[in-house]
């Protein structure tokens, strides 16, 4: 087992769901290293928010980008060096509010990056405001009377965006999450793993999740119909069963494979281009 920790003091709240995600990521990374991925070929890309501190806590290559823009940076890293395994960590505010366009387009172009959505269903680091996945009626400092907006279902959005790998896990089911991350990495193409997590300080729905999440069995992940059934089973409200697991998986050519690579040590042929200009 590689020691992956850094000297950076952990500043998450006691009981934060991110601890479970951190453990699952460590386990998944170790498993990847054991099965032959060189450690230096792994890079973590983070956004801004509590979740994104994960890159400070892991002694791995990382790029800690701007709020909402981690997916864009990750795509650039992957296209520049397709040999890297690129894991992106971002929250619901980043993925579904600030940076929703990048999420949609990254899925659409099938960039071979692994998006891990820390979904606590609110802005936490800014002390509790609603996001695109907060339930209607969410009371935060910006919506003291309750949010008037219905949440969107991020997995449905990913289906509509032609994502080739869509899964959901839960921060407190570390083994399940670890497996989902490994499956996402092994999928050749854009992968989206939603991780539900309670925010112990501003939106503690741990009990609800503990009582209602279940590991769904999907015998045909290539079926859009079955995937949509699982995806729509829960409507991001405070009731109903919440299925976990790999919902949809279909392989198709990646963006990087289709765009190709620049040739090493080959100079631009300027003279050839200039011929057309005389």
Partner 1 sequence: MKNTKDYSILAGGAAGQGSRIAGLIIAKLFNRIGYNIFIHEDYQSLIKGGHNFSQIRVSSENVSSHREEADFILALNEDTIKKHGERLAKNGVLIFNQDRIKSDKGIGIKIDTITKELGGIPIMSNTALIAAFAKIVGIDWAVLESVLRQAIEKGIDKNLEIAKRAYDTTEGLVKIEKLKNKPKPLLTGNEAIALGAAKAGLENYYAYPMTPATSVLHYLAGHAKKLNVIASQLENEVGVINTAIGSAFAGKRTMTATSGGGFALMTEGISLAAMSETPILVVNSQRSGPATGVPTYNGQSDLLCTLASGHGDFVRFVAAPGDAEESFYWTGKLLNLAWKYQTPAILLTDKDVSESTFVFNEAVLKQVKKEKDLRWNGKGEYKRYADKENGISPMAFPGQPGAVVKGTSYEHDEFGISTEEREEIVKMQEKRLRKFEAMAEAVDEMEDAVKVYGNLKSKKVVICWGSAKGAVKEAAEHLGLKVVQPVVLQPFPEKQMYKELKGASKIVSVELNSTGQLEQVLNSHGIEADKRILKYDMRPFTAQELEVQLKKI
Q: Is 69 in the site for partner 1 (CB under 8 A)?
A: yes
Measured from the CB atom, is 38 or 240 closer to partner 1? 38
> Which segment (21-29, 75-83, 154-162, 195-203) binds partner 1 by CB under 8 A?
75-83
Which CB, 6 or 142, lies closer to partner 1? 6
Candidates 2-10, 182-190, 203-211, 214-222: pick the segment binding partner 1 (CB under 8 A).
2-10
Out of 8, 148, 160, 237, the only residue in the binding site for partner 1 (CB under 8 A) is 8
Cβ within 8 Å of residue 71, ≥6 positions away:
45, 88, 90, 95, 99, 102, 103, 106, 113, 115
Q: If binding is defined by CB under 8 A, does position 41 make contact with partner 1?
A: yes
Pick the binder of partner 1 from 18, 62, 110, 112 (CB under 8 A): 62
**Member of 17, 20, 65, 154 binding partner 1 (CB under 8 A):** 65
Q: Is 74 in the site for partner 1 (CB under 8 A)?
A: yes
Distance CA 161, CA 232 (A): 16
Q: How far is CA 164 from CA 101, 192, 193, 196, 246, in A?
A: 17, 8, 11, 20, 11
Q: How far is CA 11 from the centre of its chain?
A: 21
Q: Strand 213-215 vs strand 242-249: parallel, antiparallel, or unpaired?
A: parallel
Number of residues written out for the chain: 278
Q: Which residues contact 246 (CB under 8 A, 6 or more apart)?
A: 165, 166, 167, 180, 183, 218, 221
Q: Strand runs (DSSP E) across the chain, as ranges?
A: 42-46, 61-64, 85-91, 114-119, 165-170, 191-196, 213-215, 242-249
Instruction: Name which position in 75, 92, 194, 197 contacts partner 1 (CB under 8 A).
Output: 75
Residue selected from 21, 84, 90, 163 as contacting partner 1 according to rule CB under 8 A: 84
63 scored as a contact of partner 1 (CB under 8 A): yes
Residue from the set 21, 25, 53, 120 that interacts with partner 1 by CB under 8 A: 53
Site string for partner 1, 153-182 (x = CB under 8 A): ------------------------------
- Interface with partner 1, residue 148, by CB under 8 A: no
128 binds partner 1 (CB under 8 A): no
Question: According to CB under 8 A, which residues from 230 to 269 bind partner 1?
Answer: 259-263, 266-269
Q: How far apart are CA 235 and CA 240, in angstroms?
A: 8
- Please answer whether residues 87 and 39 qualify as being in contact, where contact means their C-beta atoms are separated by less than 8 angstroms: no
Rounded to an integer, what distance in angstroms lies between the CA atom of residue 202 and that of residue 121?
10
Q: Which residues bind partner 1 (CB under 8 A)?
A: 6-8, 38, 40-41, 43, 45, 48, 53, 55-56, 59-66, 69, 72-81, 83-84, 101-102, 104-105, 259-263, 266-270, 272-274, 276-278
């Amino acid at each position: 087992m590689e020691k992956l920790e850094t000297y950076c003091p952990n500043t998450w709240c006691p009981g934060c769901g991110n601890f479970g995600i951190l453990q699952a990521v460590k386990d998944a990374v170790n498993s990847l290293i054991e099965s032959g991925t060189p450690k230096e070929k792994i890079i973590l890309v983070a956004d801004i928010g509590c979740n994104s501190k994960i890159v400070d806590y892991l002694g791995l290559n990382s790029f800690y980008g701007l709020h909402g823009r981690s997916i864009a940076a990750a795509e650039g890293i992957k296209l520049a060096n397709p040999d890297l395994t690129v894991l992106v960590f971002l929250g619901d505010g980043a993925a579904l509010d600030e940076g929703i366009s990048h999420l949609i387009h990254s899925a659409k172009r099938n960039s071979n990056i692994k998006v891990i959505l820390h979904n606590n269903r609110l802005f936490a680091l800014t002390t509790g405001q609603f996001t695109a996945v907060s339930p209607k009626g969410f009371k935060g400092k910006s919506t003291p009377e309750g949010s008037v907006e219905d949440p969107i279902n991020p997995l449905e959005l990913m289906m509509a965006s032609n994502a080739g790998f869509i899964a959901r896990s839960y921060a407190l089911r570390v083994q399940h999450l670890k497996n989902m991350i490994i499956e996402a990495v092994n999928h050749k193409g854009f992968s989206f793993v939603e991780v539900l997590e309670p925010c112990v300080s501003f939106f503690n729905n741990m009990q609800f999740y503990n009582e209602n999440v279940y590991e769904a069995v999907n015998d045909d992940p290539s079926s859009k119909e079955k995937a949509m059934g699982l995806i729509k089973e829960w409507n991001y409200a405070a009731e109903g069963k919440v299925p976990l697991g790999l919902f949809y998986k279909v392989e198709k050519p990646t963006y990087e494979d289709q765009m190709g690579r620049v040739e090493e040590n080959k100079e631009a042929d300027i003279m050839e281009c200039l011929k057309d200009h005389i």
